[in-house]
Amino acid sequence: MTPALVVFDLDGTLLDTHADLVESLNYTIATIGVAPVSYDDLTHLVGHGAKVMIERACNLHGHPLSQDQLPALLDRFIAHYTDNMPGHTVPYPGLVAAMDQLKNAGCKLAVCTNKLEGLARSLIDKLELTHYFDAITGGDTFAVRKPDAQHLLGTIELAGGDVGRTVMIGDSVNDILVARNAGVPSVAVPFGYSDVPVETLHPTRVITHFEELTPALIHELIEDFATATPAAAAG
């Protein structure tokens, strides 16, 4: 039987990146005179990659951008963010222990994020977590990104997984929707950057701490989902 595959979102799910995102974003938009954003703004800005985050931050402060302004601002953000990795970013409490448990139980792990793949890989590597993952995909890995099902399905394929034995873990609407679109169960965490309570997104399950993310839970979700939706679980 194909091992179970647990696919994680990155920002707000695996890693608490908020301080570094805000710092690099404010460094970037300061060059065009846009007022800084705060952590409270972050839930409305993240989830679609750095380019959209910059656009949204500028729109938030009444400074819409022209398309020719974006490349230089994106380059500025990437350079600052990369140069300061890992900064204040840390795994969420209980994550590493949960991943150890899952790996020891024979599960595969992967990352599916709308963050640029290069930034995601660099950050994960600097935190010495790369060895946990069978695949890491970003918002520029494929021609589409979350919530398009093909982003998650492509990640599953690269990880050597089976869509019928996969669970998606995330903190926002894109994560819950991509799981739904791909036909896999989802687990939502409430400590990330969602701008609405994660329960209202109707994930398959909500956990409040990674100590709840056990091999038993993963297998229960896969089995229950297959029983409830055999066609989706069969791919």
For residue 233, is pLDDT > 50? no
18-83 has which CATH code? 1.10.150.240
**How does pLDDT run across 65-82, given as a tens digit for each residue?**
888 889 999 999 999 999
Structure token digits, residue 206 = 């909500």
Q: Is 40 a catalytic residue?
A: no
Strand partners for 8: 111, 169
Structure token digits, residue 134 = 């069978």
Does domain 5-16+90-233 fall under CATH 3.30.70.1710? My reply is: no
**How does pLDDT run across 117-161, given as a tens digit for each residue?**
999 999 999 999 999 999 999 999 999 999 999 999 999 999 999
Structure token digits, residue 174 = 């894109």
In the chain, domain spans: 5-16+90-233, 18-83
d(CA 215, CA 122) in angstroms, rounded, equals: 28
**How does pLDDT run across 28-40, given as a tens digit for each residue?**
999 999 989 888 8
Confidence of residue 41 (pLDDT cuts 50, 70, 90): confident
d(CA 111, CA 100) in angstroms, rounded, equals: 15
d(CA 150, CA 178) in angstroms, rounded, equals: 8
Structure token digits, residue 160 = 């050597």
Structure token digits, residue 117 = 């793949």
**pTM for the predicted model, two decimal places:** 0.90
